A and B are shown apart, each in its own frame.
Chain A
Amino acid sequence: MLEINDLHVYYGGIHAVKGISLSIPQGQIVTLIGANGAGKSSTVRAVAGLARNTRGSILLNKATILGRDPEEIVRAGIALSPEGRRILPHLTVEENLRLGAYARNDKPGITRDLEWVYSLFPRLRERLWQKGGTLSGGEQQMLAVGRALMSSPDLLMLDEPSLGLAPLLVREIFSIIRQINSQGKTVLLIEQNAFAALSISNYAYILETGKIALHGPGQELLHNPQVKEAYLGA
């Protein structure tokens, strides 16, 4: 579904991504893991159209999307829940979600998806009229994921959804990611929390200093000692 070939991303004078290639098949969960600064975020930012200085190719269903504006890419069916959640603190929960559906014009579809998001995250329904900024960290993360879902994407990219969350909430978020995937959405997951991410993903790529160091099915990598090394050094 998504094909990345020899992607390079330069970011603030740094050659952050040095030629990575990966493919994401329809309906799977694919994970990019790696330590801080390995180039994970730069990769998804390039896919979402936010990175300006790029080289290589990114194909969505065989059509190139590299170099197009973020708003076009959203319409093409890719949504990103950015790192650090980035919900809009002065808008209500519902407004945040409706903003996620900005690119769509089908009213019944939006209403249906809104219901779906509320059923995925019942806690958001309780806080419908609350300002985004007053939510707890976990609720904000749910809102960020829900907002990305509202554009009705084929490919959902989640950048560090577990960041700064307590272990119990991390578990909840991961179970919801599985649920979303089981309803037919392809997921590209970026994680630092390697073990949790590997255990739910079909396939995983491990990034080290802008290059792919290792890749394979998630369950296989879970028991590979090299993974621990990439994180804690040896």
Chain B
Amino acid sequence: MPAPQTRPAYEAARFLGAAGLLMLALAGAETFLDPYKIQILNLIAINIILALSLNLIYGFTGMFSLGHAGFMAIGAYVCSLCVLTPAYKETMWILEPIIWPFSHMELGFFPAVIAGGICAALAGLLIALPVLRLGGDYLGIATLGFSEIIRVLITNATPITNGSLGIKGIPKFSTLWWNYGWLLFTLYFVVSLLRSNSGNVLKAIRDDQIAAKTMGINTFRQQALSFTVGAFFAGVGGALTACLISTIDPKMFSFLLTFNVLMIAVAGGLGSITGSVVAGIIITVLLEWLRIVEEEINLGFILIPGIPGMRMVIFSMALMLIIIFRREGIMGMRELAWDTPLRLWRRFAKTSAPPPPAKNFSIQEAETMPRSQAAIPGENEFILELRKAGMRFGGVTAVKDLNMSVKTGCIAGFIGPNGAGKTTVFNLISGFYKPTQGRILFQGADITGLPPHLVCKRGIARTFQNIRLFPTLSALQNVLVGFHVRQKSQWWMPGLQLPASRREYAAMREAAMRLLKRLGLDDEACEAAGSLPYGKQRRLEIARALATEPRFLLLDEPAAGMNPYETQDLMELIQDIRQDFNLTILLIEHDMKVVMGVCSNIWVLEYGICIADGPPEAIRNDPKVIEAYLGEEYMEYA
């Protein structure tokens, strides 16, 4: 689902209205509720902040991090050291005296929380740089290890942290107002970020890292940013916790704490902000409410003894049940919005009507989007040249001594039996493999060994043999991710809703809608890419590739799995987009009708060696090609 399109003024008013309501509610709570209930309200706010920060890292960017307790510990300790008075610190540190500068540091609450967040963010960046290369569960273990290291360091750094005794008597600065203020800021920042193209990019990385790289996204940089921002808010959550419960010690920040946060994020739905909010409320309340199982219950006629520890049994069982029976959590990846009831009504009223394209932005703005420049004739006769390119995997030679020059502006074909090395050549060109021999020139410049996102930036786009869309993103968002490589806004601008970035995003949406329309997908703009029918997914993949404004397009088996009519349409489409977008196209295809129909030049690969090249007619009658495809007649009895 793309973000609903509303005027900024309206959105701001709505946000302020909601904030006002919240303030009223808080004022009411402060006056009428007893301290225990207020404490629970505070815990809710902090838990939501923590769950949101984990959701940003894991739910939206797909990095499985188990280091939250570590970030919280950093935030809590830094903040506590800042807010305590020097005199108090002198008396508290009894094992070893506190050392300078910590002994003399004193800050107000707000700067102290910020300092806690920043230190956690720095630690996050520090850990992200080395370990983000690891995928999936290894990342989880590495971050878990990091969090344990932090705990050991805190326990042993007695002159700074007071060691295993912990810090007591931290002033209770975390009032309802501060906690909910921070919650509001966190929500505002995270929501704004995720609703912009930065959000699309993060989700794209989560869905498919390899495809994200071909879209020109520097996945490592984006992940590191997301991780750092998440760590910042985790640190803030830790700082607020410290000033709420007023006592911290290293044992508090064990894996159990991370588990609690993870539980909230998973139960709410990874990739759903409102899910985190709802689950934050439910689980905090539930955890408090579950205390009854640990106390005696008197039913009048019978006394049920409390079972100490039963709370955690029920809690962990709940997580198991959620993950086994409702893996997507309460909300899945959906969001509750202000106008959810309205939208449900609208869907009910006219089931298939697509949302109207943005009308409140002038076409002029949209035209400011950079467009592909027309090819300058004679600039380079050959757009792509492979010079003796080769690739070996271990002892196996996949491609050998391949020489190939693709003329600017043509449609070229690449055929050969299965396993001949065609996709390997695509991977060489698009930067996934570094050739073990030879060079690759694009528009006269050497691109050998460039990483995929830089190859994309140079103007090469590709599709994949087994479609690699971002399945949970809408068709429109898929295309928007493609625009990212040419966009000018920095990643943090949308978080603060800067006007320049808002304008650019609106213009990009406009251009993306046009592109979808061009490929006949405008009716499906808001549907999740993964739910589209197969033929449309193929076309969407082409649309997404076009969004990166390539000069050169690689299509890997575009007609695979299509019926004859779809194939016919596809052939026309390929010829049209070459014209309209001034492209050069190289395609791998097994359907000879397509290859013979659209290509002006064909290379035939067998065992990684080019056995023939030339125009279709020559290829069709080349005896070597016929043999490669149809084989020899079995001669035993001939």
Interface residues of A (CB under 8 A from B): 12-14, 16, 35-37, 84, 160, 162-164, 167, 170-171, 174-175, 178, 192-197, 199-200, 209, 222, 228, 231-233
Contacts and interface: CB of A to CB of B under 8 A. Distances in A.
Complex A-B, nearest 9 residue pairs according to Cβ-Cβ distance, in ascending order: A233-B592, A193-B631, A199-B634, A36-B590, A14-B561, A196-B634, A195-B633, A233-B593, A164-B419
A233 B596 contact: yes
Given A35-B590, A231-B592, 6 more contacts: A167-B632, A171-B634, A171-B636, A193-B631, A232-B592, A232-B629
Contact of B633 (A14, A222, A231): A222
B418 interface: yes
B635 A14 contact: no
B534 interface: yes
Contacts of A197: 634
Contacts of B635: 171
Nearest to B530: A13
Contact of B564 (A194, A195, A209, A228): A209
B129 to A, nearest CB: 35
Contact of A232 (B563, B626, B632): B626
Contacts of A174: 634, 636
A232 B620 contact: yes
Contacts of B620: 232-233
A118 B632 CA distance: 28
A147 B596 CA distance: 40
Interface in B126-145: none
B236 interface: no
B490 interface: no
A231 B620 CA distance: 11
B560 A37 contact: yes
Nearest to A11: B561
Identify the interface centre among A171, A178, A197, A232: most chain B CB within 10 Å of its CB. A232
A233 B595 contact: yes
Interface string B616-638: 00001000001001111111111
A196 B590 contact: no
A6 B307 CA distance: 61
Given A162-B631, A195-B632, A233-B591, A16 B561 contact: yes
A192 B417 contact: yes
A178 B634 CA distance: 11
Contact of A200 (B418, B590, B596, B634): B634
Nearest to B419: A164
A24 to B, nearest CB: 20
Nearest to B557: A37
25 contacts: A12-B466, A14-B534, A35-B590, A35-B592, A37-B560, A37-B590, A163-B417, A167-B632, A171-B634, A171-B636, A192-B417, A192-B631, A193-B631, A196-B631, A196-B633, A196-B634, A197-B634, A199-B633, A199-B637, A209-B563, A231-B630, A232-B592, A232-B620, A232-B626, A233-B593
Nearest to B593: A233
Nearest to B567: A209
Contacts of A232: 592, 620, 626, 629-630
A194 B630 contact: yes
Interface string B587-616: 000111101100000000001000000000
Q: Which of A12, A160, A196 has the most CB of B within 10 A?
A: A196
B416 to A, nearest CB: 11
Nearest to B631: A193
Classify the secondary structure of B's interface with A.
loop
B633 A163 contact: no
A164 B398 CA distance: 12
B534 A13 contact: yes
A13 B607 CA distance: 30
A37 B593 CA distance: 14
Contact of A192 (B418, B533, B564, B632): B418
Contacts of B596: 233
Contact of B631 (A84, A178, A195, A233): A195
Contacts of A171: 634-636
A35 B466 CA distance: 18
B537 interface: yes
Contacts of B607: 164
Nearest to A177: B634
Nearest to B620: A232
B631 A194 contact: yes
A195 B628 CA distance: 11
Interface string B567-601: 00000000000000000000000111101100000
A13 B529 CA distance: 12
Contacts of A192: 417-418, 629, 631
A175 B629 contact: no
Contacts of B632: 167, 170, 195-196
B534 A35 contact: no
In the complex, which of the residues B607, B620, B634 has the most CB atoms of chain A within 10 Å of its own CB atom? B634
Interface in B526-563: 533-534, 537, 557, 560-561, 563
B606 to A, nearest CB: 10
Contacts of A16: 561
A199 B635 CA distance: 8
A36 B631 contact: no
Contacts of A37: 557, 560-561, 590-591
Nearest to B625: A232
Contacts of A84: 419
Q: Taking each of B590, B630, B633, which has the highest tally of chain A beta carbons within 10 Å of its own beta carbon?
A: B630
A222 B631 CA distance: 12
Contacts of B419: 84, 163-164
Given A12-B466, A16-B561, A163 B631 contact: no
A194 B631 CA distance: 7
Contact of A228 (B418, B630, B634): B630
B634 A163 contact: no
B636 A175 contact: yes
Contacts of A200: 634
A37 B589 CA distance: 11
